[in-house]
Amino acid sequence: MQTVQQALDKLERSRFRSGFRLSADDLAYISDRGMDVIRSHALDFVRQKLAPAEPANDGRQTPMRGHPVFKAMHACACCCRGCLYKWYRVPKGRELTPSQQERIVNLLMAWIERQRSGPER
């Protein structure tokens, strides 16, 4: 099993995944609400959009914009069950365990934190 850092490094090498960035509006949203609220949103989104064995509209359930966590989900290949399988070998057709959900949220939050404090900021 790879670490969060290993996953982030691998995602950085993907032309598509590395193209996602938080906008000034996203950063302001995070700053206004705080990281605890953003983590809570991430938990809710993962629970709703990824955790079910057969998510509704799988492959199209996560918008590309509208919330910083949505961008993180795409940047981290956690946007649908297909990407979860391709990148992390998480099997389709089975509900995600609480531990799997927590690991996904930790990855999303690490990506967001990296965006907030990255060298380009």
Q: Average pLDDT over the chain, rounded to whole?
A: 94
Residue recorded with tokens 């995602």: 11
Residue-wise pLDDT tens digits, 24-43: 999 999 999 999 999 999 99
Query: For the chain, how many structural domains are there in total?
Result: 1
Residue-wise pLDDT tens digits, 83-106: 999 999 999 999 999 999 999 999
**Whether the Cβ atoms of residue 20 and residue 79 lie closer than 8 Å to each other:** no
Tell me how far apart the alpha carbons of residues 118 and 112 are, in angstroms, rounded to a whole number. 10
**What are the tokens at 36?**
């605890």
Which pTM was predicted?
0.93
Tell me how far apart the alpha carbons of residues 58 and 66 are, in angstroms, rounded to a whole number. 18
Query: Residue 75 sits in which domain range?
Result: 4-117
